[in-house]
Amino acid sequence: MDNTRIVSFDDEPLILVDSRDHVLGYESKDKVHDGDGMLHRAFSVFIFNSHGELLMQQRHADKRLWPLIWSNSCCSHPRKGESGDAAADRRLFEELGLKTPLEYLYKFEYKARYKDLGTEHELCSVYIGATDDAPRVNATEVAEWKFMSRDELNRQLRETPERFSPWFKMEWKALQETYWPRIEALISRL
């Protein structure tokens, strides 16, 4: 895999939806994040290893929104004509060079503004997966990566919450409060 291949484009057509996930149309990635943002489909992937550690990534410095901020293993958007499952698999490989089965957990809507540079307004599907394979990160997408234990991650979130993306903080809370038994079951199969 080419670890410097550009895989994200401002003009890629994203899927505009309403709060019930009905498709309203399509718009470029650049435009859906302008101003107050347009509600669009997105996904977040959480990859755990057999020690129960979460693969975290620091977003690339060139990202328009939340550059150099730590977030979950992988997050992006399905493109026009692409299912959420297919998009999550594609992006996990494009960003981290990983192929592992993903399990859908839940969907939620959120809105978060980043300075005066734009807004994420997403209907986000959350997936989990597990592997002990080492990532082969795409240097155009990821600045740094590391595996973190649940305790260490919770400590850092308490002490320096500003270092983490807003969607990650919401998703991590839900994973711990509602979905942790499913995560433990997934990890136990490694």
Tokens describing residue 132? 């002990």
* Domain residue ranges of the chain, discontinuous segments joined by +: 13-188
> Residues 122, 124, 141, 171: which is the catalytic one?
122
CA distance linking residue 10 with residue 29, whole number of Å: 5
Identify the active-site residue in 74, 75, 94, 141.
75
Which CATH homologous superfamily contains domain 13-188?
Nucleoside Triphosphate Pyrophosphohydrolase (3.90.79.10)
144 is catalytic: no
* Amino acid 1: pLDDT: 46
Between the alpha carbon of residue 17 and those of residues 24, 80, 124, the distances in Å are 5, 12, 11
Q: Could you list the mean pLDDT of each consecutive 10-residue stretch along the chain, which spans 190 residues?
A: 59 95 97 97 98 97 96 96 97 96 98 96 98 95 96 98 98 98 97
Q: What is the per-residue pLDDT for 10?
A: 62
Question: Has 159 been annotated as catalytic?
Answer: no
